[in-house]
Structure 1
Amino acid sequence: MRVSIKDIAKAAGVSHSTVSRALGDSPLVKAETAARVQRLAQEMGYSPDAIARSLVTQQTRTVGVVVTTITDPFVAEVVQGVEDAAQENDYSVILASSAAEPERELAAVEMLRAKRVDSLIVTSSRVGALYLEHLERIGVPVVLVNNHNRQSGRYTFSVSVDNQHGGHLATEHLIKRGHRRIGYVAGPANHSDDAERMAGYCQALDEAGILFDPTLVVSGNGRLDGGERTLRTLAGLAEPVTAVFCYNDMTAIGLLSAARRAGISVPENLAVVGFDDIPLAAHVYPPLTSIAQPQRDMGRQAMNMALALMVADDATAPFSDVVVKGRLVVRETT
């Protein structure tokens, strides 16, 4: 049976209001009495009613997290960072998946809003400027992860990696390895981080005096099957590529799998670079060269930013978007 404030009051020989004040650390209760009530509550296994507490404090001590898919290792690491920081601050996390569909993402945001979360963290958002305006209006702090927010307002900020820098690093590495025909396997359509990574790819080609060839850019989807499918396209060119930079590691791993089945030796006949440096990247064969993102730390930073935004009391609070640099991790695919 659930222990109530009434039970604690009876055991302590005090009123209901005294117990409520003692559990809320009210200065109106003597320190000795408060300590005794709190000790009894712990011994009796009392757990406060979160709903009742939220009505009093106007806070639920929950944060809503919207992800594209829970199967993406990058997302899993980010969410773990959010969870770590949330637990350290006595917050709970409610997770919702959008399946990378804008309509479902909007529905997930509305569902979490209805649950009265204190803040929202949205990873790899698939929706645009009007959506950001909507987030501003709902009145809770919003932190975007891996989607740089160019319209920061009172409530909406972002934690993201410098995608263009990462794309440049990856392509520059392949050029230094002697490659000139370098393909790019793109990510999901109309997503800002894909455009930024491709911009870095183009920048590195231009700096090396290599003419951009649009036939070497193929559409992927950020998943294993996308990598497998795009290898057939790149290998079928009249003059095949000798190296490929992939939008993310899952794409690169799918491409490696297809190359192995096709008898294409990596890196002897085809060099491959991914992006994210997910844990699996070091354990595939051959181990994947990748651009590492501090995924768990990005999640932790997002949660800490959300916490800071919750207590900010004016529109001039000194917040700014956080942009982190990726780093090249060289393994055996290049």
Structure 2
Amino acid sequence: MAATIIDVARRAGLSTATVSRALRGLPNVSESARARVQQAAEELSYTVSPIASQLSSGRTGAVGVVLPFVNRWFFGQVVSGIDSVLRANDMDLLLYNLGDTRVHERFFERMPVRRRVDALIVLTLPLSEDETRALSSLAVPVAVLGEPTPPFWNVRIDNSVAAATAVRHLVNLGHRRIGLITGAAHDPRRFATPILRRDAYRTALEAAGIRYDPRLEAMGHFGIEEGAAAMAQLLTLPEPPTAVFAESDEMAFGALRTLRRMRLRCPEDVSVIGFDDHETAHLMDLTTIAQPVVEQGALLARLVLKALAGSHEEPSDTVLPTRLVVRGTTGVARRDAAPGVPPSPGAATDNGTGARGARSPVP
């Protein structure tokens, strides 16, 4: 049977209260008593219970992470960044997946994180005023990934600037009929990210003097299969797009698959740009907007640990940079076809150098 603190107290000839203070490194214990406790603990192979230690200090040793989708690549990467920092600091991670509106509402009604975590990290969830107040009432450090949510720490990218960069890249290549595969813009919780990227797409078109056509928007729900279906929908238009901006790389992967199955070439027939710089984007030769996904999670974790360490720094809004990564899925718009109409599948094209262009490999 494992030794208990009572056994240590008997071996050291001291009270259990004194032994407890000594083992936790608290003051008001003489050096001789501390040495006796240490010797007795070693002789009995006694180790301090982490749970008991945390309870006595008022700390749980855990950080809660609240997210809307546990099965998406983006959130998995953010959580990986959080976990790497927490593990390095001997902290545990408790995950709360608010997968739909019902679970979301129940979470804020019950607040199951109360007294279970020392800090909380919230990933891209739209928060009402009541929900913000509920999180503030926890009296623990809170950091949010996404749009600014006072009074909490905030980490994000500028989705508007990044999405506009993607559209301008296509415009600069001569494309005038540019489609959009958007995310969950119609989710009842009104997530900010797909809305900001969609609005930036429309604004960038207007700035380029391109008339907005709502038929060129298709729902992709941030999935590969859904992205494939969205591209198929766009290609059924009387005048299909010559280029497509997908709000995530996974939707772009699906779009590329549809092009391949319809025997259309990328970028000769249709250019595609994604968003994220997914870990397999380079294998797909996908042009994309890169964002530091893992780094965002790591920064969120560092911010709450800094607050737990006693920092009195005021919560701030940190915007991390994004960048355009040009690869093989975007190219100059065709000049030898009617605007927005790809040539018949398999047709050879003039690539601008006088040579007949070969079919580009599409994943």
Give the TM bin, normalised by the shorter chain: 0.7 to 0.9
Partner of 2:298: 300
- Cα separation, 1, equivalents of 2:15 and 2:243: 75
Residue 334 of structure 2 corresponds to which residue in structure 1?
none
Cα distance change of structure 1 residues 23 and 216 upon mapping to structure 2, 3 Å threshold: same
Distance 1:60 1:308 in 2: 16
Residue 211 in 1 paired to residue 211 in 2? yes
Aligned partners of 1:69, 1:226: CA distance in 2, in Å? 16
What's 1:20 paired with?
20
- 1:130/1:181 CA distance change after superposition, 3 Å: farther
SS at structure 2 position matched to 1:113: coil
CA distance in 1, matches of 2:280, 2:46: 43
User: Which residue matches 1:88?
Assistant: 88
| Counterpart Cα distance in 1 of 2:42 and 2:86 | 23
Q: How many residues align?
A: 325
Distance 1:174 1:52 in 2: 59
Equivalent in the alignment of 2:104: 105
CA distance in 1, matches of 2:116, 2:249: 35
Structure 2 CA distance for partners of 1:187 and 1:12, relative to 1, 3 Å: same
**Runs (5+) with no aligned partner, structure 1:** none
Give the whole-Å Cα distance in 2 for the aligned partners of 1:38 and 1:265. 72
The aligned residue for residue 244 of structure 1 is 244
Query: SS where residue 18 of structure 1 aligns?
Result: helix
CA distance in 2, matches of 1:38, 1:102: 53
AA in 2 matched with 1:291:
I
Counterparts of 2:172 and 2:308, CA distance in 1:
47
TM-score normalised by length of structure 2: 0.80
Q: Using the alignment, how far apart are the partners of 2:106 and 2:141 within structure 1? A: 18
CA deviation string 1:57-105 (max 9, x = no partner): 2211211112223321211111111112212222110112222x13323
Q: CA deviation at 1:185?
A: 1.0
Output the CA distance in 2 between the equivalents of 1:300 and 1:319: 16
1:162 lines up with 2:143 in the alignment: no
13-22 or 210-219, which moves further after superposition?
13-22
**Is this contact kept in 2: 1:102–1:127, CA < 8 A?**
no
By how many angstroms is 1:216 displaced? 1.1
* Residues 2 and 204 of structure 1, relative CA distance in 2, 3 Å threshold: farther
Aligned partner letter, 1:140: V
Q: Which residue of the partner structure matches residue 288 of structure 1?
A: 286
In 2, Cα distance between equivalents of 1:206 and 1:42: 73
Distance 1:291 1:313, change over 3 A: closer
Q: Structure 2 vs 1, CA of residues 10 and 178 (structure 1 numbering), >3 Å: closer, same or farther?
A: farther
Moved more, 302-311 or 323-332: 302-311
Mean Cα displacement is larger for which, 41-50 or 62-71? Answer: 41-50
Where do 5+ consecutive residues of structure 2 fail to align?
A: 331-363
Question: CA separation of 1:3/1:326 partners in 2, compared to 1, >3 Å: closer, same or farther?
Answer: farther
- Taking a change above 3 Å as real, the CA distance of residues 223 and 157 of structure 1, as seen in their structure-2 partners, is same
Q: Which structure has more helix as a fraction of its residues?
A: 1
- Pairwise CA RMSD of aligned residues? 2.5
| Structure ID, larger Rg | 2
Partner in structure 1 of residue 341 of structure 2: none
State the 1:47 CA deviation: 4.3
Q: Is the 8 A contact 2:183 2:222 kept in 1?
A: yes
> Using a 3 Å threshold, how does the CA distance of structure 1 residues 303 and 3 change in structure 2: closer, same or farther?
farther
Q: CA deviation at 1:313?
A: 8.3
2:179 paired residue number = 183
Kindly report which structure 2 residues correspond to 1:57-68, keeping only aligned pairs within 5 A, or say none.
57-68=57-68
Task: For residue 111 of structure 1, report the CA deviation from its aligned partner.
Answer: 5.6
Residue 296 of structure 2 aligns to a residue whose secondary structure is: helix
CA contact (8 A) 1:64 1:112 kept: no
Q: Between 187-196 and 26-35, report the one with greater CA deviation.
A: 26-35
With normalisation by structure 1, the TM-score equals 0.87
Contact map agreement 1:81 1:298 (CA 8 A) in 2: yes
